[in-house]
Every structure is written in structure tokens, then in C-alpha cells.
Amino acid sequence: MSKIVIEKNVMVPLRDGVKLATDIYRLEDAGATPALVARTPYNKDGMLAGGETFNILRAVQAGYTVVTQDVRGRYASEGAFNPHIQETDDGVDMLAWVAEQPWYNGKIGTFGGSYLGGTQWLPARKQPPALQAIAPAITFSAGYEGCSYQGGTKVLHDLRWVVANIVPAEIERRRARGKTILESDSPLDVDGAFSELPLATHPFIQKYAGFYRDWLTHRSDGDYWQQSSMSDSYEQITVPALNISGWYDIFPWSTFENFKGMRERGGSEMARRNQKIIIGPWTHMNFSGSFPEREFGWAGSAMAIDLPGIHLRWFDRWLKGEENGIDKELPVLIFVMGVDEWRSEADWPLPDTNYRSYYLHSGGQANTLHGDGSLSTTAPGEEPADVYLYNPLRPVPTVGGQVILPGGNAMGPRDQREVELRDDVLVYSTPVLNQPVEVTGPIELCLFVSSSARDTDFTGKLVDVFPDGRSIILTEGILRARYRNSFTELALLEPGEIYELRLNLWATSNVFLPGHRIRLEVSSSNFPRFDRNSNTGGDITTETADQYETAVNRIYHDKERPSHLILPIIER
């Protein structure tokens, strides 16, 4: 076997003179080969230890030169880090540099997950000539909705990213340059930071993560967020894409948006015809399929489908021209939970989807899992509304789901029974099922609501209730009422007036088996996955805890105002 040559910290110059540290992995006697490129803020030196989704050494032995790079302002690279904003031009410059190297044969592909997905999509908007294919995993589609915000609320699990991944490295960079590091500059306590009010003025963020302050203060969509958006630029992207995510990832909705958007609006026929998507029972960066409260087994792991091998087949097709059939396969590969098996499909949403309404019912006492809330396909008649008090200083806690939070069991398929005991959580369940019910596709919740406040939030959560009582989260969503019409223009509520709201609960694929029940939870907070609504209608970024107000919120489900959950049912 040929010797693998590794070149470390080659400094690649950009158009403005800043140099980025780059590692090169290649076979000693391979000659000119296609190049696979990954650009990371997480230290390129750690990428060799991976392998669940992409294996660098396996790719080199398969005939590729692999190039990894620390992005601007991170680890061994020069410059200042400004997440996402810098990656378009820097990525274009990097690919142009690769195209000039003697070991390069004219074809480039890109790979990587999370932030590394953005470093693929963003420069692809500029159509770099050598770029032939990309493989973005667990990544976003736009800077605002589905990344920094969801339903108009600020997601806070990206604060963990700042505290755990971004700030410590920045402190070390400053220490290496001889700058004084104060004891108060030690890493911020994540839990404490989540509770800080107002967070945007926290001195730690001001000093080390000014960009996060910008994310907090740009609370509506607009020009600032367009700089890091792919969803407005699919027409400019002309390459095939292998899209990868998980049902419990923080980006499944964005991944489907990228897949659908490119199939419909991609900038070339080749791009439109050659989009592929894989969704497993995974969280963000956990591809094992194994969780303390829900086990998907070996079948649910990335290794079961050989995700590194799928990457190589993808690049062999588009960079080497091999007719290996990957472009002839059905474009959608999903793991169907419940039956716990992989299945290929022709499109997303599935062409034979039957959208069915499940209506909310109660006698006005749906509070807690012991209340009288129910869920059925029968439309309501005359029923009293359900009411609860939302106190932003006593928020409903986040328990699992599509989130990144501290703790090994803090994400993914968690049991919700503790949450369902709260009186500010409304619980609606079907009777025990006699037949399996498959729910595969995008999910929407239509709520008729009123509030005593000028602004408040509403949440929805889809849950699979097991015969043993476990209430396992599948997917969820939220909507800040002021953004009910648009994420760019605010519209406050008139207290006591009834409004129809549409909540995007993202998507799932799950067979509710006989003996199980389908459950919906409704509330007004999910903290610290999302920031808390102060209920004042004011600027949440600058408000302090003593300004927060409580809200009396009502959910209506009667003949004129039939609140309902819309489920994508598959019957075959």
C-alpha cells in the first residue's frame, strides 16, 4: 500500500492577505487526484479521529487528496472569526488555491457537518469552477429561521456552541499572543448564561463573542441574515448535493429545505436531478442510534448503512465519473422509527402522503397528562377553551428533542412525563391504537388562541406514548405571536382577541404501533431550547427579569375554531 503523506499547517493566502492553516493528506505516488475539502472552526487537527460519517484515511486510500483547513480566526489560522459571514469569499479563495496545486486533477468535492456544511453551501453560491459536488451534513438552510431562530424565537442551544467551542479557543489564542487573561475570563457557566437577563449585555459575550450579541439583537429576518442564507440562492448553486441529517438533529427542517429547494430551483439541470437526502435516528453529531430512553439498535447507526462508504460512492460518481449507480437510486433514504428500519422513497414529502387533521378536544381541563384532553379525527362541537398561566420566570423545561444542551442524555428521544405533570402544559392524546399509524412527513399545528398579553409564545410537541407509559418526544415547534404573519414585520396581539396561528413542527417518520397513543403537548415555553417571551411586546433583548409579565393563554377547540394537528399519514 502506498505511503500517506501529510503536510501540516500550509498557510494559504486569501484575497485580503490573511493566511489560513491547511493540512493536506495524499498518497505519495498517486500523482494528480481529485480533492476533497473541509473547512472547520473546530480545529482541523481533530478531524482525523472521526470516521462515523466520513473517514479521511479511507478517502485518501480510495484515490483522493483530502484537504482540511481552520477557518479564519480559528486555531492556527490568521484573522478574526465572524461566523458564516466570512465563509463565502474565503471558501471561494480556498478552492481556487486548491485548483493551482500540482497534486490536483481538476475536480473538487467538499464534505463535513454542522458549521462545515455552511462552509460548503455558502461558497457554492458563487459557482467556483472546480467544484463538482458537495456533501453537507447536519447543517442549516438560512441564518435566521431554522438556525439562529425558530418560529421567531431565539434558539439558545447555540450559546452552548459559543461557550464550549468558540470562546475557549479564542481565550487560548489571546493567551498565546501574550494578552492578559483574567480569572473572570474563565469559561462561562452554560446554565448560568441561559438564565442571564438580558443576555446580550453579558460582559463575557461582549468581550469574546460580539457576533452572538449581533445574533441576539437582529431578532427579525432581513439583510443581516441574508449574508448567511442558502435558501434565497438555490438558483445560483449548480452542483449535486448529498444532504444528511437526523430526526433529532437541530437541522432536519433545514436539510429538507435544502433538498427540496435544490430539486425545484437549483441552478442547473444536473443539480436539480441529483440531490440526495439521508435522515437517520440521530442527534447533532451522534450517529449511533442509541439513547438511554430509546434504543434503535445497530440498524439505526450510521455504520449500518456505511455512511463513509456512501460519501465515497457519491464522490466517485461526480469527481471520477464512475457509473456506480448512486445517481440512479431513489433520492430519499429515511429511517422509519417505530418499525426501526431504513426505507428509500422517490421524493419528499412522500408522493402518497395523506394529510389528516387530528382535532383537539377537552372539557376545559386539558392541563397535565391527568387532564381530560383528547385527540381524534372527529371535528369538535361546542367545547370550552383550555386555559393556563404562562410565567416566563417559571418556564417549561426543555427535555430532549432537537437540541444541543449539556449532559449526555439532554438531547434526542427523551421521556416527557415530567413535563406533562405541569399545569401550564396542555396534553391531548388519542385512545390506545388498535392498528399501526405511520406518520412520515412535515407536521403543522393549527391553534386558535387568545392571550392577556401583547405578545407571547405557543409551542407544540408530537409524542409517541408507549404501552409502558413512556412519552417519547418525536418533534416540536414554536411560534412567537408577533411573527405570526411574517418574520420581517411585527404585529402585536390585541389582548383577548382570538387569532389563528400556524406552528411548524418540522417533520418526523414514525409508526405508532398498536398499544401506543399519539399525543400532542401545547404550552408557551421550552427553555432553554428557546428564549423566553417576556409577554410585554417590548424588546426582549434589553428587558430585565423585573420587567417580565405573566400571560393568561387560551386554546380554543370548538366548531367555529377547530384547533387541530395536521399529520402526514402513509397508508400502504
Of 114, 362, 429, 523, catalytic: 114
290 is catalytic: no
CB distance 556 to 563 below 8 Å: yes
CB distance 206 to 196 below 8 Å: no
What's phi and psi for 550, nearest 5 deg?
-85, 160
What's phi and psi for 522, nearest 5 deg?
-130, 135
**What is the CB neighbour count within 10 angstroms for residue 408?**
9
Alpha-carbon dihedral sign for residues 296, 253, 200, 72 = positive
**What is the CB neighbour count within 10 angstroms for residue 299?**
14
Residue 229: all three cell numbers together: 442564507
The residue assigned the cell 437517520 is 280
Q: How many CA atoms lie within 13 A of 549 on its CB side?
A: 15
Distance separating alpha carbons of residues 134 and 140, to the nearest angstrom = 14
CB distance 472 to 294 below 8 Å: yes
Q: Which residues contact 438 (CB under 8 A, 6 or more apart)?
A: 336, 338, 509, 510, 511, 512, 569, 570, 571
Distance separating alpha carbons of residues 114 and 249, to the nearest angstrom = 10
H helices of 299-425, in order, are 307-319
- Beta strands (DSSP E) in 337-431 are 341-345, 354-361, 374-376, 386-390, 426-429
Distance separating alpha carbons of residues 220 and 145, to the nearest angstrom = 9
249 is catalytic: yes
Distance separating alpha carbons of residues 288 and 471, to the nearest angstrom = 21
- The identity of residue 156, as a single letter, is L
214 is catalytic: no
Of 202, 284, 361, 564, catalytic: 284
CB distance 263 to 275 below 8 Å: yes
Of 70, 249, 316, 424, catalytic: 249
What's phi and psi for 334, nearest 5 deg?
-125, 150
Rounded to 5°, angle at Cα 432 from 429 and 437: 85
SS (H, E, C) 405-435: CCCCCCCECCECCCHHHCCCCEEEECCCCCC
Catalytic positions: 114, 249, 284
